């Protein structure tokens, strides 16, 4: 059971590391908080909350995977290597795709509320 709980400590250490070292992680978290605030303001439905939660979790998870790939790549080689570049670029692309999806989902959810507001 001790190992089980130690796993949570490691996971929180990873999240803390990403927040300390990755500007994009802080940016995604800030935008996520803005979206949550908008959700409370517009009183979105439980289904919309679920979609927003999944989108935020997806982007934050992708950013953590990106950080892991970058760290492992830097550990593996200090040289500029085409495969290292490919690994980092693909990990960054995964974050970009998740972020674009999150923006699309946010638009689908919030544009009708914004139209009603104006």
Q: Give the other-Cβ count within 10 Å of 95's Cβ.
A: 22
Out of 48, 63, 70, 79, the active site residue is 63
Please indicate whether residue 70 is annotated as part of the active site: no
Distance CA 114, CA 35 (A): 13
Structure tokens at 25: 């992680």
CA distance 97 to 101: 6
Which positions are annotated as active-site residues? Answer: 63
């Amino acid at each position: 059971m001790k190992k089980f709980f130690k796993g949570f400590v490691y996971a929180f250490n990873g999240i803390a590391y990403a927040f300390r070292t990755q500007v994009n992680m802080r940016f995604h978290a800030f935008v996520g908080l803005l979206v949550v605030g908008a959700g409370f303001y517009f009183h979105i439905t439980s289904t919309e909350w679920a979609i927003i939660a999944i989108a935020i979790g997806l982007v934050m998870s992708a950013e953590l995977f990106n950080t892991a790939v970058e760290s492992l790549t830097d550990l593996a080689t200090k040289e500029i290597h085409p495969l290292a570049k490919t690994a980092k670029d693909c990990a960054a692309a995964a974050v970009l795709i998740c972020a674009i999806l999150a923006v699309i989902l946010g638009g689908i959810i919030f544009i009708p509320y914004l139209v009603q507001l104006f």
